[in-house]
Chains A and B, each alone.
Chain A
Amino acid sequence: MNASFRPCLVVPVFNPGPALTRTVEGLLSTGYPVLLQDDGSDAPTQAALSDLKRVHPELDLGRWEVNQGKGAAVVALLRRAAAMGFTHALQVDADGQHGLEAVPRFLALGEANPAAVIAGVPRYEGTVPAARRYGRLFTHAWVHFETLSFAIGDSLCGFRLYPLRPVMRLLERGPLPARMDFDTAAIVRLAWEGVPIVNAPVTVIYPEDGISHFRMVKDNLRLTRLHTGLVLRMIPGLLRRRRARRASAPHWSKVQERGTTFGLKVCLWTYQILGVWALRFVTEFVAAYFFLTGRATRKASRAYLTRLFEQRGPIPGLTSRPGFFTAYRHLRTFAQSYVDRFLAWVDAGKISVDFPDEAAFLAQRASGRGAIFLSAHLGNLDMLRGVGAARGLKGLNAVLDSEHAARFLALLQRINPDYDAQVIHVKDAGPDTAMVLADHIEKGEGLFILADRPPSAENGRVLRAPFLGHEADFPMGPWLLAHLLQCPVYLFFCVKEGKRHTIRMELFAERLDLPRKGREAALAGHLARYAAALEEGCARAPFQWFNFYDFWREAAPDKKA
């Protein structure tokens, strides 16, 4: 046996029934070290384990009082195995369902493929309970979609040889699910990391005396949730929550980048092979997931819709006071807008855009004068790219405040490099930002700025202005930019109306003057006009307001004021 292959056998134990002793003794007879983790089992199981330990003192037995789930137990075992210097761990269920004659075969495969996961594919003997059969069918379909391959023969089988190094790397970046969904999540994510999967058959018997802890409803629901989550990871741009969690882990940006590129490719293939309906279908799950799990998101949506309703009364689409499920419609619209954005990039011809002021827009662009187009997180600015591409327009720059949105667009651009449009990522309103933006205007280009969200940096000075009847923060930078560069300012919104998109453009001012004396007052006037236009836009497209945070939060203390 060479030094780079030191395997052990690991067994999570939770009330497995009388097969336990037979299984563990069978494993010990192979001559490999055996590690057990008792996941809060009952007294008879504890007694059986104590007996085993007494007869086989070499047995490594861990235990915790409270049941934490199979995934948690396996993770604890894998960590312990790595700490003890093992390179590989073969996971075996304690309930006697796995044919142990496979142990030496799996270890030989592992030694021949030390970088790979050797994944058991069940060969059933006897009958399979119906709950499991359906759960399996469901899961396999999803896993094949998630990994875009049939490389993983069986993602549920708990008989599996893990190479410990990639597993530890995966665990460093974030937790894996603690329960029955662990087996699937672990192998899918290892596959994403590029860990090869080698499938090998293992006999599975559902023994008479075996006790399964797979629960028909609860665990199938858990699996549904898992796959929604995994599919989500494939779809870029929507991962605010997860992104925040991952941000603290090392190399997250690199991981995210790879994951996101992969996800976009998946979208592209899905689109090319199945068509846009498939994207929309998957997106429904995404929306449902966000609705069900995003409490803060639901709250923000409801706050906005309530204020809109109070301000404007019944409007098309929002005919009564918003209830719990109105937020679902809102989130759905948001999720589906990503499909439109995606289409705008990869297949602009499929997007129908009405642009009544197109002539004025083209004339402005042809004038060679730099201009600022003030927009908002209302509707979908990407639709402009359809117009831009059709007309061969150059020098259209989207100014984005979030790194995440900027990356999404940069990736779309990588998929379709035909467009000339630029993405400018703005972290804060510092001198660097100012100079870069000024440079584009001086070159006669157009800057599309979302002027409804203050920069994320804490030191960005903001302005309060009433929006939907309550004061909210707006950024100062776009206005100052227009003043200092003395360029024309337009309002520019693109919302979806039915199946078509409509761009509304309006000249806001040929130039803005904001002298330092009386600047706040002058700005307040401009901002009020902008906020009013925003309100009009919201009333026309109530569900296309894509700010899912506490928009009216209390003003941050201003050092200068």
Chain B
Amino acid sequence: MVQDISPAEIKRFIVATLDLEDTKPEDIGDDEPLFADGLGLDSIDAFELGIALKKAYRLDLEGAAQASFAHHFRTPSTLAAFVTARQSQPAPELP
């Protein structure tokens, strides 16, 4: 059964996936920009995060406008909402 994904879960996922050693999930604000000025992820991080999320939650992209992705990946909150809407498998076990 799928359930709502919280921004906190997304933050844990980001830290684990990208191996952010100096950052703890709770250090990231729910509405803090993930890229550039905020957490400072770059496009390759985004690339990796995208694939990891897709694999982990079996995201169904059918009908999703590619142009909207930049918006979905803006902050932990927007990303949580996106994954919630698109997931087709429950949350994976995180280390």
Best-buried of B43, B49, B50, B72 by chain A (most CB within 10 Å): B43
CA–CA, A437 and B47, complex, Å: 10
Tell me which residues across on chain B come within 8 A of A481, comparing CB atoms.
47, 51
Given A431-B49, A431-B69, A517-B19, do A438 and B44 touch, yes or no (CB 8 Å)? no
Nearest CB of B to A370, in Å: 12
A461 B44 Cβ-Cβ under 8 A: yes
Nearest A residue to B18, CB-CB: A516
Tell me which residues across on chain A come within 8 A of B52, comparing CB atoms.
484
Nearest B residue to A475, CB-CB: B44
Asked whether any CB of chain A lies closer than 8 Å to the CB of B22, the reply is no
Asked whether any CB of chain A lies closer than 8 Å to the CB of B66, the reply is yes
Nearest CB of A to B23, in Å: 14
Asked whether any CB of chain B lies closer than 8 Å to the CB of A550, the reply is no
Asked whether any CB of chain A lies closer than 8 Å to the CB of B1, the reply is no
CA–CA, A485 and B66, complex, Å: 20
Contacting B at CB under 8 A, from A410-463, are 428-439, 442, 457, 459-461
CA–CA, A436 and B66, complex, Å: 9
Best-buried of B19, B44, B61 by chain A (most CB within 10 Å): B44
Nearest A residue to B17, CB-CB: A516
Asked whether any CB of chain A lies closer than 8 Å to the CB of B55, the reply is yes
Contacting A at CB under 8 A, from B48-72, are 48-55, 59, 61, 66, 69-70, 72
Given A481-B51, A516-B18, do A432 and B70 touch, yes or no (CB 8 Å)? yes
A435 B44 Cβ-Cβ under 8 A: no
A457 B42 Cβ-Cβ under 8 A: no
Asked whether any CB of chain B lies closer than 8 Å to the CB of A480, the reply is yes
Tell me which residues across on chain A come within 8 A of B8, comparing CB atoms.
none
B51 A435 Cβ-Cβ under 8 A: yes
Tell me which residues across on chain A come within 8 A of B81, comparing CB atoms.
none
Given A432-B66, A435-B69, do A461 and B51 touch, yes or no (CB 8 Å)? no
CA–CA, A481 and B73, complex, Å: 18
Q: Which of the residues B48, B70, B72 comes within 8 Å of A434, measured between beta carbons?
A: B48
B42 A430 Cβ-Cβ under 8 A: no
Looking at chain B's contact residues, the main secondary structure is helix
Contacting B at CB under 8 A, from A131-166, are none
Q: Which of the residues B48, B69, B70, B73 comes within 8 Å of A484, measured between beta carbons?
A: B48
CA–CA, A312 and B4, complex, Å: 59
Tell me which residues across on chain A come within 8 A of B55, comparing CB atoms.
438, 442, 484-485
Asked whether any CB of chain A lies closer than 8 Å to the CB of B91, the reply is no
Asked whether any CB of chain A lies closer than 8 Å to the CB of B46, the reply is yes
Given A484-B51, A484-B55, A517-B19, do A439 and B44 touch, yes or no (CB 8 Å)? no
A438 B69 Cβ-Cβ under 8 A: no
B43 A460 Cβ-Cβ under 8 A: yes
Looking at chain A's contact residues, the main secondary structure is helix
Best-buried of A439, A480, A484 by chain B (most CB within 10 Å): A484
Q: Which of the residues B42, B61, B70, B72 comes within 8 Å of A461, measured between beta carbons?
A: B42
Nearest CB of B to A460, in Å: 6
Given A439-B61, A484-B51, do A434 and B19 touch, yes or no (CB 8 Å)? no
Asked whether any CB of chain B lies closer than 8 Å to the CB of A295, the reply is no
In the complex, per-residue mask of A486-499: 1 if CB is within 8 Å of any chain B CB, else 0: 00000000000000
CA–CA, A428 and B55, complex, Å: 20
B18 A429 Cβ-Cβ under 8 A: no
Tell me which residues across on chain A come within 8 A of B42, comparing CB atoms.
459, 461, 559-560
A438 B43 Cβ-Cβ under 8 A: no
Number of residues of chain A lying within 8 A (CB) of chain B: 27
CA–CA, A461 and B48, complex, Å: 12
Tell me which residues across on chain A come within 8 A of B61, comparing CB atoms.
435-436, 439
Asked whether any CB of chain B lies closer than 8 Å to the CB of A379, the reply is no
A485 B19 Cβ-Cβ under 8 A: no
Nearest CB of A to B52, in Å: 7
B54 A516 Cβ-Cβ under 8 A: no
Best-buried of B19, B52, B53, B54 by chain A (most CB within 10 Å): B54
B50 A438 Cβ-Cβ under 8 A: yes
Asked whether any CB of chain B lies closer than 8 Å to the CB of A96, the reply is no
Q: Which of the residues B19, B43, B50, B70 comes within 8 Å of A435, measured between beta carbons?
A: B50
Tell me which residues across on chain B come within 8 A of A442, comparing CB atoms.
54-55
Tell me which residues across on chain B come within 8 A of A428, comparing CB atoms.
43
CA–CA, A459 and B47, complex, Å: 12
Nearest B residue to A439, CB-CB: B61
B50 A432 Cβ-Cβ under 8 A: yes
Nearest CB of A to B73, in Å: 5
Tell me which residues across on chain A come within 8 A of B43, comparing CB atoms.
428-430, 457, 459-461
Asked whether any CB of chain B lies closer than 8 Å to the CB of A477, the reply is yes
CA–CA, A476 and B44, complex, Å: 8
Nearest A residue to B58, CB-CB: A442
CA–CA, A536 and B18, complex, Å: 36
Nearest B residue to A434, CB-CB: B50
Tell me which residues across on chain B come within 8 A of A434, comparing CB atoms.
46-51, 54
B18 A431 Cβ-Cβ under 8 A: no
Residues of B within 8 A of A (CB): 18-19, 42-44, 46-55, 59, 61, 66, 69-70, 72-73
CB-based closest 5 A-B pairs? A431-B50, A432-B69, A434-B50, A516-B19, A434-B47
Residues of A within 8 A of B (CB): 428-439, 442, 457, 459-461, 476-477, 480-481, 484-485, 516-517, 559-560
5 further A-B pairs in the complex, CB-CB below 8 A; given A430-B69, A432-B50, A484-B48: A430-B70, A435-B54, A457-B43, A480-B44, A481-B51
Q: Would you mind naming 30 contact pairs between A and B with Cβ atoms under 8 Å apart?
A: A430-B69, A430-B70, A431-B46, A431-B47, A431-B49, A431-B72, A432-B69, A434-B47, A434-B48, A435-B50, A435-B51, A435-B59, A435-B61, A437-B51, A438-B50, A438-B51, A438-B54, A439-B61, A459-B42, A460-B44, A461-B44, A477-B44, A477-B47, A481-B47, A484-B51, A484-B55, A485-B55, A516-B18, A517-B19, A560-B42
